[in-house]
Amino acid sequence: MTELATMEFHPQPQAGEARPWAFPAPGRGTLGNGLTVLRCHRPGQQIVAVEVLVDAPLDAEPAGLDGVATIMARAFSEGTDKHSAEEFAAELERSGATLDAHADHPGVRLSLEVPVSRLPKGLGLLADALRAPAFADSEIERLVRNRLDEIPHETANPARRSAKQLYKELFPETSRISRPRQGTEETVAKIDSAAVRAFYERHVRPATATAVVVGDLTDVDLDALLGDTLGEWTGSTAEPRPVPPVGADDTGRVVIVDRPGAVQTQLLIGRVGADRHDRVWAAQVLGTYCLGGTLTSRLDRVLREEKGYTYGVRAFGQVLRSAPDGSGISLLAISGSFDTPNTGPALEDLWKVLRTLAAEGLTDAERDVAVQNLVGVAPLKYETAAAVASTLADQVEQHLPDDYQATLYRQLAATGTVEATAAAVNAFPVDRLVTVLVGDAATIEEPVRALGIGDVTVVSAE
């Protein structure tokens, strides 16, 4: 090769001296109205991120009204006692601000991002939304119709469809987690402004809420600012809602959601694990990364970089509902997609990767690289105020201490290969995995049955 001669080669450089970085520690306080506030000054971060967590979990939705928390969350930005829906959106955008609100199992979360020069305006709008939402009949009707229009789009999306099926498989019908977070056609259609207001009055109050404020706060008198905005929000006191226990059925089995003619099969394998209070969490993060965290992890090394069956397969753990006593749950999952003809061979290889992991374990080299990545990327990952605010809010939402993330980095660094292997093997036991495949049943059913990875049932996509 002549190409080799065209440049001067140098040995791979060695790392310089690492500069210290630590996950920021927030300050914690309480406003007069009972609102808990976490604040964190991040020099240079001109876009301030504010997260507000409201103790309005999905399990608090009244029976038959799944989706009311979602409609309420959306309605927060559809008008207040000061602005109509259109005006409110215009005021936000005029401030260069964005406000997102969504409802999930642990509660309702509002995320504001705004340039620091407009923080007073942004916080004022956020406070208005929480303090005095209009919930006008006409706006709620519109949001309900809009939500109903979205559902067919989700059903048609293979990734969304697979998630819906997996939750249905894993959890008993009586558990809120088994059902779509944003409701079904049947439940959403029943939601009106009275239902939204009732849910709001019952569950939205500063005493059980937390605000997280992160950004460059150099020239900001945050106490005064909060006093004039979120401090004006009032409500009764209440105890935090208890977290209901959730059972799950992870008997190994396969469900094919039939999508005739699909050129790919969407894969979602899952089971239920503990929440982040569990001592195994750090080792599980490490082991799961080695299994399927990136393109050079075990799954992609075979399924993508050797076989070309996929654009990428990932393994991950995601907390669904955390409890202060550690009795909460997470979803342990593997997701990706394979071209239709190779679905059987790809699953066979995937199971082979899991069996090999169980039989032979991880190598020290794999463990080292994983630790170096997971811990080393922290300063990159937390460059923006929004990233820091989001993690601080997750910790609060999951009843974890404010120094959890910093502690997790130390635990990761101290976790050995044997522990990481055990955690990964326990997280993904080959006979306790529920496999959802959204794809062309006529082509994939037989090869999947032949694998013997559990009973196979086929359901319709609609």
Question: Of residues 269-308, which lie at the interface with another protein (CB under 8 A)?
Answer: 294-296, 301, 304-308
Min separation Cβ 242 and another protein, Å? 36
Among 264, 343, 398, 435, binds another protein (CB under 8 A): 264
* Using rule CB under 8 A, residue 435 touches another protein: no
* Using rule CB under 8 A, residue 153 touches another protein: yes
Among 35, 37, 47, 65, binds another protein (CB under 8 A): 47
Which span (2-10, 102-110, 248-256, 452-460) binds another protein, by CB under 8 A?
2-10
* Using rule CB under 8 A, residue 136 touches another protein: no
Q: Please say which residue, 64 or 152, places its beta carbon nearer to another protein.
A: 152
Q: Please say which residue, 93 or 325, places its beta carbon nearer to another protein.
A: 93
Residue 336 DSSP SS3: strand
Site for another protein in 102-131 (CB under 8 A): 115-118
Q: Please say which residue, 353 or 400, places its beta carbon nearer to another protein.
A: 353
CA distances from 107 to 148, 241, 277, 349 (A): 22, 10, 19, 39
User: Per-residue string for binding with another protein, 374-413, x by CB under 8 A?
Assistant: -xxxxxx--xx-----------------------------
Min separation Cβ 298 and another protein, Å? 12
Nearest to 58 by CA among 195, 248, 199, 171: 199
What stretches of 157-306 adopt beta strand conformation (E)?
Answer: 210-215, 253-258, 264-274
Q: Please say which residue, 368 or 455, places its beta carbon nearer to another protein.
A: 368
Q: Please say which residue, 178 or 294, places its beta carbon nearer to another protein.
A: 294
Strands 329-339 and 310-321: antiparallel
* Using rule CB under 8 A, residue 426 touches another protein: no
Alpha helix positions (H), 271-335: 281-292, 298-303
Provide the angle, in degrees to the nearest 10, between the axes of the packed helices 137-156 and 158-170.
100
Residue 349 DSSP SS3: helix
* Using rule CB under 8 A, residue 50 touches another protein: no
* Using rule CB under 8 A, residue 242 touches another protein: no
Burial of 74 (0-12, 13-18, 19+ CB in 10 A): buried
C-beta separation of 125 from 97 below 8 A: yes
Residue 445 DSSP SS3: helix
What are the backbone angles phi and psi of residue 453, rounded to the nearest 5°? -100, 15
Burial of 316 (0-12, 13-18, 19+ CB in 10 A): middle
* Using rule CB under 8 A, residue 462 touches another protein: no
Among 59, 278, 339, 348, binds another protein (CB under 8 A): 339
Q: Please say which residue, 458 or 461, places its beta carbon nearer to another protein.
A: 461
Among 93, 137, 185, 364, binds another protein (CB under 8 A): 93
Number of residues binding to another protein, judged by CB under 8 A: 81
Residue 39 DSSP SS3: strand
CA distances from 238 to 55, 76, 241, 295 (A): 10, 21, 9, 47
Q: Please say which residue, 376 or 447, places its beta carbon nearer to another protein.
A: 376
